[in-house]
Amino acid sequence: MEDFIRHLPKVELHLHIEGSLEPELMFELAERNNITLPYANVEEAREAYHFHNLQSFLDIYYQGANVLLTERDFFDLTWAYLMRCKADNVMHTEIFFDPQTHTGRGIAFDTAINGIYHALRQGEKELGITSQLIMCFLRHLSEEAAFETLEQAKPHLHRLVGVGLDSSELGHPPEKFARVFAEARALGLTTVAHAGEEGPASNIYDAIELLHVSRVDHGVQCTQDPALVELLAQTRMPLTVCPLSNIKLRVFDRMEDHNILSLLDKGLCVTVNSDDPAFFGGYMNDNFLALNRALSPSKEQLTQLTRNAIEAAFVDKDTRQSLHQKLDDFSANHGVH
């Protein structure tokens, strides 16, 4: 089954590019940019990646982002992630970036998006990995700051497929950003939002009703409300679930307790993603392998998780058809019914 998982074609829909910064690259960029890190070496930095909750994770996450200064830095960060995609048989990825993490330290919006975007285009050309880019607003910052970021994004709308909402969910409900999301939709952008990870099921309802999201990022707390679970199944509202992240941030105590397969069996459009893989214990293969060890999914269930991700991807008809064909070919060759 592990061999099956490694070769299974995959689609990733919930990946924070800043959260793919491995300690080795962090040190490399710090040296290039003459930045002194608060760690003696790579091992000490890796040790610091062991945190206890969402806030302590965010503290180290923002610390690491300080090494990203130039377009080349953002390119190298994104390219390193794409090489992981290639190794894990990820056919298509839709990545988040947090411009406010960078503009807040004096890095131009253009610098970040140019580096990321050029790496994604090169990844399509050289690695055959298709991609989309989603700009996230940091929800612990103000609505005004989100509007400023949307203004900065306007020259780059052709490079963005949508906007998202991330950072600390508790105390920052979806309604705080209803107006800026309405403005983003008016500009032709699709919307997604983190909801129902550390926050309650009501945040999932509000993300759908107030922000008009096309996907819910995380969403695992939907089980607090059986009526919501039924609604999500009926509407096929995608949930971009991140198993290893959920364990690391204590959303579930053990992978054996994770609800992804029970939600799958109820007909929900759940998908597997790596979130912040440098911090949470691994990339796409690692997440699928962890589910396999703890929950013993069938080949049909594993294949359905990719099928759901293809269904939920923000791609045109031809790209979707091509992704389905690759999965169908794999399924036929591996006896999946």
| Cα 99 from Cα 300, distance rounded (Å) | 38
Residue at 58: amino acid letter: L
Tell me the pLDDT band of 76, cut-offs 50, 70 and 90.
very high
Q: Minimum mean pLDDT among 57-61, 101-105, 218-222: which range?
A: 57-61
pLDDT at 55 over 80: no
Classify the phi-psi angles of 89: left when phi > 0, otherwise alpha if psi is within -120 to 50, otherwise beta: left
Domains observed in the chain = 2-333 (3.20.20.140)
pLDDT mean over 138-154: 97
Binding-site residues for Zn(2+): 14, 16, 194, 275
Tell me the pLDDT band of 300, cut-offs 50, 70 and 90.
very high
Task: With 0.95 as the threshold, say if the pTM is over it.
Answer: yes
Q: Return the ∠ at Cα 40 (arms to 34 and 42), rounded to 5°.
A: 90
pLDDT mean over 42-66: 83
Q: Give the closest residue to 241 by CA, choosing from 202, 284, 200, 303.
A: 284
Tell me the pLDDT band of 73, cut-offs 50, 70 and 90.
very high
pLDDT at 168 over 90: no
| Cα 282 from Cα 5, distance rounded (Å) | 14
Q: Give the closest residue to 5 by CA, choosing from 327, 314, 285.
A: 285
Task: Please report the pLDDT score of residue 30 as a whole number.
Answer: 95
Q: Give me the chain's average pLDDT, please.
A: 96
HSE at residue 283, side-chain half, CA atoms within 13 A, is: 21
As to burial, measured by CB atoms within 10 angstroms (0-12 exposed, 13-18 middle, 19+ buried), residue 202 is middle
Tell me the pLDDT band of 122, cut-offs 50, 70 and 90.
very high
Considering 53-57, 245-249, 326-330, the range whose residues carry the highest mean pLDDT is 326-330
C-alpha pair distances (Å), 76 with each of 18, 22, 128, 241: 11, 11, 18, 26
Tell me the pLDDT band of 257, cut-offs 50, 70 and 90.
very high
- Helix (H) or strand (E) holding 135, with range, is strand 130-138
Q: Give the closest residue to 116 by CA, choosing from 70, 148, 158.
A: 70
pLDDT mean over 49-61: 78
Q: Which of 197, 198, 209, 311 is catalytic?
A: 197
pLDDT mean over 9-19: 98
144 is known as an active-site residue = no
- Dig out the tokens for 210 from the structure: 């107030």
| Cα 174 from Cα 164, distance rounded (Å) | 11
